[in-house]
Structure 1
């Protein structure tokens, strides 16, 4: 009687299922952590003005970056036309038109982008619109008799 050894025919194999599970967990981790850092990507240089600060904790935030792109709270408006901005504002704000709106526009933003944002807010019925500014830099006092 001839007894065959089946161990010689077994080929080693690598089970890929645990590796795929680990890769999917890593992908989910990176996707979730990158969404938390969305606000730090937007670097705005606000125009300077004097005045007192307002509490904007409950306000709707509309950001316009230097390229004229719009961001409503945490959502980016995909196109820069008036209708896209209006639809995004309506989705984020819902029916609350008495909510104050804080418009944050970069100092290098084209003026047309800011006017478009004001136009969209006005057409939707928002009446309490504030514009964010940075405090004006302190200038050293000039000597008496010299022009400022």
Structure 2
């Protein structure tokens, strides 16, 4: 005989199929538990912003409160220690010396503030 007899193999496969069809629904309902509910939405925690204004005469204002030059670095250090770290927004008068803005930026960098941005106003179209 030159061919393999497949009939016994097919019979065994059909028997195994019937066994699995019968046992799977029984295993599914064996233990009932209530799983905890979880949300996969990320938390939306936005860091606060620290607003630094530099007037034309070089005076510093943090959140509309005047700040002496000596206290600027200590305020930046306190802000850098917060978690999440606040963003620093610098608004400089167009007539202020660049040196005053650069000193404020250097103090913020030395204190450890990572995000520093500039606030500008767009030019008015006639």
TM band (smaller chain): 0.5 to 0.7
Highest Rg: 1 or 2?
2
2:90 matched to which residue of 1? 103
**Partner secondary structure for residue 81 of structure 2:** coil
Residues 5-84 of structure 1: pairs in structure 2 closer than 5 A: 58-78=48-68, 80=69, 83-84=70-71
2:102 matched to which residue of 1? 115
CA contact (8 A) 1:101 1:129 kept: yes
TM-score with structure 1 length normalisation?
0.47
CA root-mean-square deviation:
2.2
1:127 matched to which residue of 2? 114
CA contact (8 A) 2:87 2:117 kept: yes
How far apart in 2 are the matches of 1:121 and 1:94?
A: 8
Aligned counterpart for 1:90 among listed residues 61, 71, 77: 77
Structure 1: gaps spanning 5 or more residues: 1-56, 140-148
TM-score with structure 2 length normalisation?
0.55
- The change in CA–CA distance for 1:94 and 1:123 in structure 2 (over 3 A counts) is closer
Structure 2: gaps spanning 5 or more residues: 1-46
- The change in CA–CA distance for 1:76 and 1:89 in structure 2 (over 3 A counts) is farther
Q: Across the two proteins, how many residue pairs are aligned to each other?
A: 79
CA contact (8 A) 2:54 2:61 kept: yes
